[in-house]
């Protein structure tokens, strides 16, 4: 078993970005600038946004964190997004999900100018991805693609099973793995809550991407020996022995599955850090697109 170490690979990518940003500045070009919007006091969301802002700072990317109370009216958020859309200094905009119930996620995603949509959630970017054209790829599947690339995992002709059909992870991941080109050319099965014989599908897979958000769901008896296993899950599970009061659990039963695998991501330290590296890549790309 070998580790797909997202911390290490993510650091290498972030260092590349740092050098590219430094090069831009030495050429008198614009410094990339990300605006991150956080609403309310969800502990996990605050941690993720904090990590994104810190990673920007380390890579030389400017970031502005806008933190609002959970009773922020939807129209106020939409107006804020509009002003960021029109602000030439802002290259990328992200609104951390999930949102409070009274704010429509789709209205917010549609409001972000596609050329600043570094999360790749806008239908324009999702449509470009579907067609294999350049655009912003959502950070989690993009990060997984970069991780497979970093470790030179052969994907062509392989059976890939993606578990979970979210717009953020599962669906775009299935498109990336099936498209022609590097880290693609897989035969992809996209499984979900209504899939019959899910274990049977997973057992046939050379590459498994688990993105359903159920701790320890993927068990050893579902895994084909030698598989590559990517664990996107990162659920907070109460654990009074931990200082924080919780531990982070992946969707894969790592203890029992890892001995069977050729490659596996740990949780934490697998997909999470790659998501951040991918966001930084998208933010730099958004800035580069404005160069004349």
CB 202 within 8 Å of CB 208: yes
| Site map 159..178 versus ligand GUN, x via CB under 6 A | ---------x----------
Question: Which two structure tokens, joined as six digits, stand for 254?
Answer: 């790592």
Instruction: Say whether 160 sits in a helix, a strand or coil.
Output: strand
3-state helix vs strand vs coil in the chain, percent to 5? 40, 15, 40
Among 126, 140, 155, 179, binds ligand GUN (CB under 6 A): 140
Q: Regarding beta strands 33-39 and 62-68, do their DSSP bridges make them parallel or antiparallel, or are they unpaired?
A: parallel
| Residue 279 CB, nearest approach to ligand GUN (Å) | 7
| Residue 67 CB, nearest approach to ligand GUN (Å) | 14
User: Quick one: 90 or 227, whose CB is closer to ligand GUN?
Assistant: 90
Run of H or E residues at 3: strand 2-3
- Main-chain phi, psi angles of 186, to 5 degrees: -85, 160
* Cβ atoms within 10 Å of 56's Cβ, excluding its own: 26
User: Quick one: 119 or 231, whose CB is closer to ligand GUN?
Assistant: 119
| Site map 71..110 versus ligand GUN, x via CB under 6 A | -----------------------xxxx-------------
User: Quick one: 47 or 289, whose CB is closer to ligand GUN?
Assistant: 47
| Residue 255 CB, nearest approach to ligand GUN (Å) | 26
Q: How many residues sit in the footprint of ligand GUN (CB under 6 A)?
A: 9
Instruction: Give the DSSP letter string of 93-119.
Output: EEEPSSPPTTS-HHHHHHHS-GGG-TT
Does 282 contact ligand GUN by CB under 6 A? no
User: Quick one: 232 or 261, whose CB is closer to ligand GUN?
Assistant: 232
Does 119 contact ligand GUN by CB under 6 A? yes
Does 267 contact ligand GUN by CB under 6 A? no
User: Could you list the active site residues?
Assistant: 52, 96, 119
Give the residue from 250, 244, 282 showing the smallest Cα distance to 4.
250
Q: What is the CA radius of gyration of the chain?
A: 19
| Residue 63 CB, nearest approach to ligand GUN (Å) | 14
| Residue 185 CB, nearest approach to ligand GUN (Å) | 25
CB 111 within 8 Å of CB 82: yes
CB 4 within 8 Å of CB 147: yes
CA atoms within 13 A on the CB side of 227: 30
Residue nearest to ligand GUN (CB): 97
| Residue 281 CB, nearest approach to ligand GUN (Å) | 13
Among 77, 90, 139, 234, binds ligand GUN (CB under 6 A): 139
Distances (CA, A) of 123 to 167, 169, 174: 10, 14, 17
User: Quick one: 6 or 198, whose CB is closer to ligand GUN?
Assistant: 6
User: Quick one: 17 or 202, whose CB is closer to ligand GUN?
Assistant: 17
- Main-chain phi, psi angles of 62, to 5 degrees: -70, 145
* Contact set with ligand GUN (CB under 6 A): 94-97, 119, 139-140, 168, 275
């Amino acid at each position: 078993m070998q580790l797909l170490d997202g911390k290490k690979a993510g650091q290498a990518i972030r260092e590349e970005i740092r050098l590219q940003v430094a090069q831009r500045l030495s050429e008198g070009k614009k410094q990339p600038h990300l605006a991150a919007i956080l609403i309310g006091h969800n502990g996990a969301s605050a941690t993720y946004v904090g990590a994104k802002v810190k990673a920007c700072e380390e890579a030389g990317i400017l970031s502005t964190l806008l933190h609002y109370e959970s009773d922020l009216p939807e129209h106020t958020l939409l107006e804020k997004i509009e002003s960021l859309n029109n602000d030439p200094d802002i290259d990328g905009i992200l609104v951390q999900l999930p949102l409070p119930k009274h704010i429509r996620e789709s209205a917010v995603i549609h409001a972000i100018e596609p050329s600043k949509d570094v999360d790749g959630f806008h239908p324009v970017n999702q449509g470009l991805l579907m067609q294999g054209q350049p655009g912003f790829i959502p950070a989690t599947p993009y990060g997984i693609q970069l991780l497979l690339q970093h470790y030179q995992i052969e994907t062509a002709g392989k059976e890939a099973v993606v578990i979970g059909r979210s717009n953020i992870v599962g669906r775009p991941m299935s498109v990336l793995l099936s498209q022609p080109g590097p880290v693609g050319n897989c035969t992809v099965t996209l499984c979900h809550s209504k899939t019959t014989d899910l274990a049977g599908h997973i057992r046939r897979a050379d590459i498994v991407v688990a993105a359903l958000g159920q701790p320890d769901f993927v068990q050893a008896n579902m895994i084909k020996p030698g598989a590559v296993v990517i664990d996107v899950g990162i659920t907070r599970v109460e654990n009074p022995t931990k200082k924080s009061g919780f531990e982070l659990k992946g969707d894969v039963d790592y203890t029992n599955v890892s001995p069977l695998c050729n490659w596996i991501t740990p949780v934490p330290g697998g997909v999470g850090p790659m998501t951040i590296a991918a966001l930084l890549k998208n933010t730099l790309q958004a800035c580069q697109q404005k160069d004349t």
